[in-house]
A = this chain, B = another copy of it.
Amino acid sequence: MDILIKNAPALLPEGLSGGPADICISGERILSVGSVPKDFIPEQVIDASGMLAVPGLVNAHTHAYMTLFRNCADDLAFNDWLFGRILPLEDLLTAEDCYWGTLLGCMEMLSTGTASFLDMYIFCGSAARAVSDCGMRAVLSRGLTDSAGEDPAGGKRRLTDALDEMREWGNVPGLSFMLAPHAPYTCSERYQREIAELSHDTGVPVNLHLAESDAETATILEKHGCTPTELFDRTGLLSDTTVAAHCVKLSDGDIDILARRGVSVATNPVSNLKLANGVARIPELLGRGVNVALGTDGAASNNTLNMFRELAFLGLLRKGLDADPTAVTAAQCLSAATAGGAAALGLDSGAIAPGKLADITLIDLDRINLFPRNNLLSSLVYSANGSEVSTVIVSGKILYDHGEFTTIDRERVLYEVNAVCRRIGTINE
């Protein structure tokens, strides 16, 4: 559909537009920004007076199905969280459960301005079906482990499933795929090399967890005599199409490696706090030219998939810890949540510019917390809470329209999610 968005200022690659910047969308792409081509006849005109147009946000690391587990394992020591709570619950899930959980995650992401995300999951097909049903853009990756070499058959099966899924869903618009060696401590060196070679041969990028905790660093040092980053580098998993989530525990040498290989880092500030892992070295990564993207992680280790909350944490944490109020700026945060995320995910989106995929979020500026309008850009990072999102357009289609989902049956999803949670026992009422 051809759409004209009128009367809204826009967050452009060069900064905020001075006044309203009319945006023409033709099909799935942005046709023009600023002026309307003479022969452009929109089928729909959106009067976005009082709103701000920003690129649809990119959530560069999540596990959407885990939205099922929101708030069911908080304030727990890591082992109690993972082994006592999350893994036993995960064992109870079916592919159908994960479909509904993913849709709940999609609803939350859309309602807070996210247009696309990078997902890692356990059931092939569930996320693909959910994303394709709701029309979001996603990069999908089945988490791959061989239980650190203890379960080579399982590792093989998971990889085969992932490849089958790519063949089955690879041509669906809006979907793309990555290979996801889960983590340095869950994949044997042999398995890592196998995936790296496959990625190299097929051109399918890599998505992985890296340097999340001190325990991981200690385990890898003991077993492999190097840092997790060095291990992944030597098995060939780090390249300029690789997205590495977390990256909290990085040495200077590790940062060198990431910079040299052109790896994108998907930082998850809230998750890293909640699971007691610390705060990533964002200023150092940015200073070395590493592409930094922003992700929420799953709801089990964050409790919301709201990128606006993530933006605030990204902007504030290193200021306080480095005694430097300029450590990470609002512009750097917004870049991580838009262009940086798109670059990480290999998407031709993340910017309001002619030719780009038409992923656009409209923000209602008529909010007390955005007033007075002393600095709109700053207010997006430090004052907004995500509830200001009015409309989300993905690939030129309006998926969230003044608070209503156009492709998702909200009540049905809530009903099904509730049924899952009763069955697995996280809700007892």
Residues of A within 8 A of B (CB): 68-72, 74-78, 81, 104, 107-108, 111-112, 214, 270, 272-279, 299, 302-304, 306, 308-309, 312-313, 316-317, 319-327, 329-330, 368-369, 371-376, 378-379, 382-383, 385-387, 410, 414, 417-418, 420-421, 426-427, 429
Question: Cβ of B104 and Cβ of A371 under 8 Å apart?
Answer: yes
12 CB contacts below 8 A, A to B, read A68-B372, A70-B374, A70-B383, A75-B325, A76-B325, A77-B325, A276-B323, A303-B382, A304-B383, A371-B414, A372-B421, A374-B421
**A382 to B304, Cβ gap below 8 A?**
yes
Residues in B whose Cβ lies below 8 Å from that of A414: 368, 371
Most chain-B Cβ atoms within 10 A of its Cβ — which of A273, A302, A324, A387? A273
> Which residues does chain B contribute within 8 Å of A68, judged by CB atoms?
372
What 10 A-B pairs are tightest by C-beta distance, nearest first? A387-B387, A273-B320, A303-B382, A72-B374, A385-B385, A273-B316, A71-B375, A276-B325, A71-B378, A372-B421
Q: Which residues of B contact A427 (CB under 8 A)?
A: 372-374
Known contacts A77-B325, A272-B320, A273-B320: does B378 contact A417 (CB below 8 Å)? Answer: no
- Once A71-B383, A76-B325, A306-B385 are accepted as A-B contacts, the answer to whether A371 and B417 lie under 8 Å apart by CB is yes
Given A71-B383, A270-B312; 20 other pairs, CB 8 A cutoff:
A69-B374, A70-B374, A74-B378, A77-B324, A77-B326, A274-B316, A275-B319, A276-B319, A276-B322, A277-B323, A279-B320, A304-B385, A371-B417, A372-B418, A372-B426, A373-B429, A374-B427, A385-B386, A386-B387, A387-B387
**Most interface-central of A308, A313, A382 (chain B CB within 10 A):** A382
Contacts of A303 in B (CB 8 A): 378-379, 382-383
Are A111 and B368 touching (Cβ within 8 A)?
A: yes
Whether B379 contacts A70 by the Cβ 8 Å rule is: yes
